[in-house]
Amino acid sequence: QLIDRLVPVDPQCHTRASDVVWLLILDILSGRQALVHLERWAHEIDLPKLIRPELQPSWFNDDAIARHLDRLYDANIHQVISACLVQIYKKEGIPLRVFHADTTDVSVYGTYESASPDTLHIAHGYNRQHRWQKQIGFGLIGNEDGVPFYGDVHDGNLPDKTWNPEVLSRVHEQLKQAKIEDEWIYVADSAAMTKDTLAQTKAANAFLITRGPSSLRIVKTALAEADARDTTWSDPFSLAEKNGATYRVWETASMYEGHPVRLVVVESSALDQRKGKTLEKERAQEA
């Protein structure tokens, strides 16, 4: 019903966009996952019972499915997905307090015709293996239990520093639609430590948790102060029940791009051991 409202039903079509979404989900959950030969597979399942009455397998040919996928995209596919996820969160009472965000890229091959500015742009970029290839980007935001809340597909050369403030704004809109105005936490990697992301975090009534890049002056200063002889660290603690690494923390406050930030320096016993091995290896090579 939600998808039919967001993607209006075409009276000339035997099928609806929601029918195709149902079929694709059933296909994935059945373990096929290839998303090909759907019409042939539709003959093997009970469409009237699984989706809705009077559906015929022959109506799910490639052309019909492609037309509905285009209509889903034209209806703002990201907004459609977000509306579905917000409804799931509200119905199941899933916590909406902490969100973790990250992106990845997928390399593609072949020749692609130049697309209009409104469509996905396959661009050359450095992938996670630092290879210069054609690629598209994927972004995902989930709560602390890993339940998705927002997902998108974006241009292959869109940097995380641009993506973070954009999706922060969209997540804020989703929360407002769900009538949730409480403060929330956005967790992301060091690419989120920018003026635009901090400004958007404040506008979204949220807090940002990220890793401070070691190239920043405030980070260098905090590390130097943490190394001082008279620095008072916390008592060691462990996050694992047994045989886990122990940690100590020390914190300070600073300003970055006009925003107050709290810097937490973390010392890990496991990282100390790895660094010790690296230093021993370098010493042996020098000797």
Do 205 and 90 have their domain in common?
yes
Residue closest to 250 by CA, chosen among 221, 273, 272: 221
Residues 22-37 pLDDT 10s: 999 999 999 887 778 8
Q: Which residues pair with 142 in a beta bridge?
A: 100, 148
* Dist. CA 149–CA 81, nearest whole Å: 9
Do 16 and 94 have their domain in common?
no
Q: What is the pLDDT of residue 128?
A: 65
What torsion, rounded to 10 degrees, do the Cα atoms 178, 161, 189, 126 define?
Answer: 120
Q: What is the mean pLDDT of residues 202-216?
A: 93
Residues 73-120 pLDDT 10s: 899 888 888 888 888 888 898 888 899 999 998 888 888 776 666 777
* pTM across the whole model: 0.80
What is the residue range of 231's domain? Answer: 212-287
Q: What is the pLDDT of residue 208?
A: 96
Do 90 and 184 have their domain in common?
yes
Radius of gyration of the chain (CA): 25
Phi/psi at 218 (nearest 5 deg)?
-65, -30
Round the average pLDDT of the chain to a whole number and report it. 89
Do 153 and 118 have their domain in common?
yes
Q: What is the pLDDT of residue 109?
A: 85
How would you classify residue 132: left for phi > 0, otherwise alpha for psi between -120 and 50, otherwise beta?
Answer: beta
Do 91 and 47 have their domain in common?
no
Percentage of the chain modeled with pLDDT above 70: 97
